[in-house]
Amino acid sequence: MIRKIESRSKVKGRRAFLKATAVGTASTLSSISNVSAVNEKTADELINESARKAIDKGLRFLSGRQIQRGADKGAFGASGYAGSVGICGLGGLAFMSEGSTPGVGRFGKQVDLCTEFLMRHTGPTGYIARGSGAIGNMYAHGFAMLCMSQAYGMSRKRELGQKLRSAVKCTLAAQNDQGGWRYRPVKSDADLSVTVCQIMALRAARDSGINVPDSAREKCIDYVKKSQTADGSFRYTMRGGHTTFALTAAGCVSLFSAGIYDGQQIEKGLKYLKRRKDNVERHYFYYGHYYAVQAMWHAGGEWWNDWYPGIRNKLITSQSANGAWGNSSYGQEFATAMACIILQMPNDMLPIFAR
């Protein structure tokens, strides 16, 4: 049975962020974002028996891959992408999407292991990285900070809060004048992909009670808006470059996160995703669908009804016998964490995904 957790603090934090960021936007939900639309399917209807089994196998695979002792305790590998803070953060999000919280629930121990690993690898500057941070760079930092924010909001652990504040300061210090971020934790040029990762992490941190200045939020959303093209897609940098399904999904999620629920930017972005749903770039399949499922979840109604069953069925049929997902250059741990997060979206367990 799918468990539903009603969290007043989650709703309060979400609304507080929207109030602070929805500058110049409507204060009421539009027809696009009306999540109570007639006939929207419930979590029990969407997460069918096959999906439940796939999720269970996937989470058990991740649990089995998590290192239980030694210097690598909490990571999903001793080196490479599997051993990075980014994959650890995504794994923690996958466990929390099931309903487990730090130290509580079926995967409560695993969530604790993730956050402890991330805290150990939060450096003096707040940069969350393993070693030189060459693997994952600011992407990994962003996913790690997102996981820490969700765990802190649920546990209020003092040390976790201190590390999270340090990580937020690192991200804010690296924001460039345009409002974006690049691969390293320093001011430089920017690209949309890394920028969206930081936007989500900062929003989650603010929702958990960490101070994030209005000016920083407004600058990064302005960056996202200026990255959209005439056909609704989003480009890699404001100077130009390619547009993709993954970038467009990420851009739409950023706009929703800022309280922008209606208007041409949202509608054109969603329609672009719908047109391209069967032509997702193979290299960015999991990354793209991670953001696309969030975008359609926030859009709600028929957007959501039409979208989730398709990606659900695709993931169910592509899962390996051992519970993992593959076909990713970032490894099985990355693909499996992403697939589990996507499949569990109807659970509505994480504050960052709250409507």
Q: What is the pLDDT of residues 169-178, one digit of tens each?
A: 999 999 999 9
Going by C-alpha positions, the residue among 197, 119, 185 that lies closest to residue 158 is 119
> Mean pLDDT throughout 210-224?
96
Dist CA 204 CA 150 (whole Å): 7
- The pLDDT of residue 264 is 94
Q: Is the pLDDT of residue 17 over 80?
A: no
- Angle at CA 18, nearest 5°, toward 348 and 150? 45
Q: Which residues pair with 243 in a beta bridge?
A: 235
Question: What percentage of residues in the chain have a pLDDT greater than 70?
Answer: 89
Dist CA 269 CA 230 (whole Å): 10
- The pLDDT of residue 241 is 80
Total Cβ atoms within 10 A of residue 1: 5
According to DSSP, residue 234 is labeled B
> Mean pLDDT throughout 155-179?
98
Q: What is the pLDDT of residues 328-350, one digit of tens each?
A: 999 999 999 999 999 999 999 99
pTM: 0.90
DSSP string, 170-212: HHHHH--TTS---SSSSS----HHHHHHHHHHHHHHHHTT---
Total Cβ atoms within 10 A of residue 157: 18
Mean pLDDT of the chain: 90
- Residue-range domains of the chain with CATH: 17-343 (1.50.10.20)
